[in-house]
Amino acid sequence: MGKIGLAEFERIKKNFLTIYKDLKTNVIALQGTEEGKMIMEALTKLDRWFLEEFVAKFKSE
């Protein structure tokens, strides 16, 4: 991944958080089902990846 500026990082972060929030809201309908549980686990892993990997990579560049 090449270097990105702060404005580009903020745009990516905003888009990620919007998509994440929409997905999480839609999963509420599946709450209590096996599918809902699997999707929430995947969203949690995605959130963790974004915070740990993407943000850390940006800060290190």
Domain range list for the chain: 16-60
pTM listed for this prediction: 0.53
pLDDT at 17: 85
DSSP state of 4: -
The Cα angle at residue 34 between residues 39 and 36, in degrees rounded to 5:
35
Q: What local confidence, expressed as pLDDT, does residue 13 receive?
A: 83
Find tokens 């990579």 and name the residue.
Answer: 57
**Per-residue pLDDT tens listing for the chain (61 residues):** 567 788 888 888 888 888 888 887 878 778 788 888 888 888 888 888 877 877 777 776 6
Q: What share of the chain is helix, strand, coil (3-state, %, to 5)?
A: 85, 0, 15
3-state secondary structure of 55: helix
Residue 2, pLDDT score = 63
